[in-house]
Structures are given as structure tokens and as C-alpha cells.
Amino acid sequence: MLALILPLVVAQAQVVNGAPLKNPDVGLHVVEQKPVSDAGRLEFTLYPAVPQLNGLYTQHVGTMGQLTWHLREHFGLTLSGGGNWHNQESRFNGELIDKARIEAQSAASLLWTWTAMAGVEVAPFYGKVALFDSQLAQFSVVINAGAGLGGTRHLLKPETSTPATYGDTGVRFMGSIGAGFRLTLGQHVALRLEVRDVVYTARVDQVNGCSAAELPDFSLNRGAQPMSPGCRASELSPSDALLARGLINQRSSEVLNSLGAWAGVSFIY
């Protein structure tokens, strides 16, 4: 055993002392770069298109952004937000209605429109890798969590010969948790790939700020009964008001989670 270990020790000593290896088939290529610290820096990340991965009754695709203030090397505070420019019921839900004459409960098919959250991010694992034998990149595993508010809406009438109509179902508390990878290239650019789960409560208890008691009065006689200050019944047609009342009267509730793939590019200052 000593005979096998001794040549390796001698070879290593030669490399450390600067002497060339005797084996001509072995060479060393050293990439040196001044380490970059994230402490005290600001990072803005743009996620151009975030698709929903678990869309059974709903489908979401949106553009998100995040501002990260790195308080320490591997800990930061975050502000994130954005909007889902595509938020519709899934084809599966449409097939249930067309073929089986059934549909998901109103809570299960609630659509998420926008969000704004504050949270934290940690990087418990990190390292370095050489790219193209000349550039040293830093990579890390990131874990983040946040909480905030988000807007929701629900489909009232599906698209037929006329456009689909939607009702505003209000602002809700939202939370998120995620994990992924961050690859820093040079001093000011990083690439991110994360999976985040956004969780929010889903219960339709008002549409356009109106309760069920306010909607039928409007559908039968416009403005005949007094309404609460936040009720925007004038934005609903009589038929949509009746559909909205039906949604509220279902009284279904659920906790929904929208699992999304967040791929983006960061600019660090």
C-alpha cells in the first residue's frame, strides 16, 4: 500500500513546488478570478414568462420580477411581484362542462391575476465552476419564501359567439416558497432557474365588490336598492350579475397552489 501512495505524494509535492510533472500526459490549467461578494449589493431579476406547472382547472402564464437586497453573502431580503397576462380556465374544465355537464367548484377555478410579496432568500450551498477554460462562475442553491397580496377573478360566461366575461373576486393573502439554482457570470449578471409554489385562499364571497344580496336587485332593477360603497354592480350586465350571484351562493372554499417554473436573468449592482 505504501508503494502505491508514495508516488502520488511525490507528484503532488512537485506540483505544489512549481516543478513540472514527469508524466507528459498530465497537465494543469488554473483559472484565477477575484471572488465576488454579494454582501451589500442589489440584484434585480426579470422572469419574462412564468408558466403554471400544475394547471388542472386553471392555466396561468405571467411576467414576474424580484428585487433582492443581499444583507450578507448568503442571505437577502426580497420584494417580488408581477402579473399573469394569461389566466384562464383549463381545457380540462371546459371538457367537463361540454361533455359531462359538470364543472369545478368556483373556489377550485379561481384565477390569479397579479401579486406583490416581501420575503427572504438564503443560499445554503454554493461553489465555483470554470466555463470555457477562461471564466470562473459561481453557483448556489437558493431557497426563498415570501408573503403578500394578490388579485383574483373568476369566469362568469365562457367565450361563445361573444367574448368571455369575468368578475373581480377581490384581493387575497398569498404566500410562496421556492428553491432553485443561481449561476453568477462575472460581476453583474446572473442566471436563475427556480420552482415556486404560490398558495392563496379561494372562496368567492363577492364579485366586483358586491355581495349576493346586492346582485339580484341590480339584475331586476338597476340601482333600485342601496349598495355598499365598494360595489361596482354597474360593470356587470343583468345576466352576468345573475351568474355572479350563483358563484357566491356555491359557498365553496379551498386553498389553491400555483406551482410555476421561474427562469430569469439578474442584473447585480
Q: Is the pLDDT of residue 22 over 80?
A: no
Q: Is the pLDDT of residue 98 over 70?
A: no
Structure confidence at residue 129 as a pLDDT band (50, 70, 90): confident
Q: What percent of the chain has pLDDT over 70?
A: 76
pLDDT at 259: 96
Q: pTM for the complete prediction?
A: 0.80
Q: Is the pLDDT of residue 4 over 50?
A: no
What does the pLDDT average to over 235-249? Answer: 88
Contact 219, 243 (CB under 8 A): no
Q: Is the pLDDT of residue 47 over 60?
A: yes
CA dist., res. 64 & res. 52, Å (int): 13
Contact 142, 38 (CB under 8 A): no
Give the least confident one: 44-53, 60-69, 81-90, 214-223.
Answer: 214-223
Give the least confident one: 98-102, 152-156, 161-165, 213-217.
Answer: 98-102
Helix (H) or strand (E) holding 255: strand 253-268
In sign, the C-alpha dihedral spanning 155, 156, 161, 162 is negative
pLDDT at 217: 56
pLDDT at 43: 97
Highest-confidence segment of 48-52, 181-185, 221-225: 48-52
Q: Is the pLDDT of residue 3 over 60?
A: no
Q: Which residues, in sequence order, are CB contacts of 177 under 8 Å at separation 6+? A: 144, 145, 196, 197, 199
Reported as a single tens digit per residue, the pLDDT across 151-188 is 999 999 888 888 999 999 999 999 999 999 999 988 89
